[in-house]
Amino acid sequence: MVQQTLKRAHAKIYRKAREIGISEIVFGIGFGLIAFIFNLVFHEFAHYAVAVLLGYPARIEGLFVFEGWTTVYADITNPTHLALIAAAGPMACLALGEYFWRFGRRSPFRYVAMILWFFGALPNLIPLPARDAWYLYNTIGPAWSWFIFLIAFGYVWARFLFDGVGPADWEEGIT
C-alpha cells in the first residue's frame, strides 16, 4: 500500500516535470536538493523532540547548507540524557531511510534513503569531536561507540549490495 502510494506520487511528479520540459538531470538534482533539505530538518527536529520529551527547553537554532544545530537551554548533567539527545538525529535518519528504502522500491525515493543515510546518519555516527556520536563516545566509551558506527555502516552497505539501487531499478515504476 505505502509502496504503491510512493510510486504513484513519484510518477505524478515525474510526468508533470516532463510536461513542462524539465530534463531528467534537472529533475534528479531538484529531487536530491529537496531530499537533502528534508534530511537536515528531520535530523535536527529529532534532536529537538528528544530534548523536549526528556524535559529540557530546546530550540532549533540554525540550518545551514551542510550543518544545523539544536540548542538545549539547560545544563544537562545526566550523561544518558545527553547521549539520547545526540543519538536521536542519526537514529531517526537511519529509521526513516529504512522506511524510504523498503517502501520506495522501484522509485527514486531510494535516493532519499541514501541521502538520509549518507548525510544524516553515518557521518554523525562517527565518534569524532563535533559529531553527534562524540557524546556517545564520552558516555558509553570508545569501543561501543565505534561498534555502533560499524554496525550502522555495515547495515547500510549490505542494503546496497543485496538490493541494488539506480535508474534501472526504478524505470518501470514511472511508466
Q: How confident is the model at residue 70 (pLDDT cuts 50, 70, 90)?
A: low
R_g of the chain computed on alpha carbons: 18
Q: Is the pLDDT of residue 2 over 80?
A: no
What per-residue confidence (pLDDT) applies to 174?
Answer: 46
State the distance between the two ends of the chain, measured CA to CA, in whole angstroms: 18
Overall average pLDDT of the 55-72 stretch:
72
Rounded to an integer, what distance in angstroms lies between the CA atom of residue 108 and that of residue 10? 7
Overall average pLDDT of the 38-49 stretch:
86
140 within 8 A of 87, measured Cβ to Cβ: no
Overall average pLDDT of the 23-41 stretch:
77
Q: Which is more confidently placed, 175 or 94? A: 94
- Give me the helices (H) in 69-132, please: 79-103, 109-115, 122-125
What the block records as the C-alpha cell of 169 is 531499478
Share of the chain above pLDDT 90, in %: 13
63 within 8 A of 106, measured Cβ to Cβ: no
What per-residue confidence (pLDDT) applies to 161?
Answer: 78
Rounded to an integer, what distance in angstroms lies between the CA atom of residue 137 and that of residue 129? 9
| 71 membership: H or E segment, kind and range | strand 68-72
**DSSP secondary-structure letter at 57?**
-
Q: What is the mean pLDDT of the chain?
A: 79
What per-residue confidence (pLDDT) applies to 49?
Answer: 92
Overall average pLDDT of the 30-38 stretch:
80
